[in-house]
Amino acid sequence: MQRNVGVWLDHRHATIVSVRGKQVETRDIYSQVEPRVRSTGGSRCAPGAGPGDIVSESRRDARISQQLERYYGDLLRAVAGADRIHVCGPGEAKRELSKRIIADRELAPRLIAVEPCDRITRAQFVARIKEVFGVPIKRMARA
């Protein structure tokens, strides 16, 4: 039976919906990427702070890059056994993940779509992935 996977992601969090037949499983992966902090003011140190208290931007950017690499690696492992992969999300993260999927010889032919998608609830995302992969959606009966 085919395993179809939908991934909604941004740089902080990913929701993975796995569909096999009519069975649906969801899983969350968190990135552990530290938030970008923008300092205001000049480049002077605060009173009592020394040169060792300042972290250079290049070191911080390198650390964030390593954290994102780990995050995308976790996501690639999560979708590794999928027959078809659908990726969506609000920003650059979906494109970054799709580039990594395309670079992988085994996963590249399985990527069926990359689409923009705003923040949505888990239930909305599950319904969207069911629709994409042709799984019947249970509708509530109206009284």
For residues 117-137, give the mean pLDDT.
89
Confidence (pLDDT) at 45: 55
Task: Write out the two tokens for 78.
Answer: 């999560």
Q: Mean pLDDT, to the nearest integer, of 112-119?
A: 92
Model's pTM, two decimal places? 0.79
Sign of CA dihedral 99, 100, 101, 103: positive
CA atoms within 13 A on the CB side of 100: 18
pLDDT in tens, 38-50: 655 555 555 655 5
First to last CA, the chain: 36
> What does 107-135 look like in DSSP terms, one character per residue?
TGGGEEEEEE-----HHHHHHHHHHHTTP
**What local confidence, expressed as pLDDT, does residue 59 receive?**
85
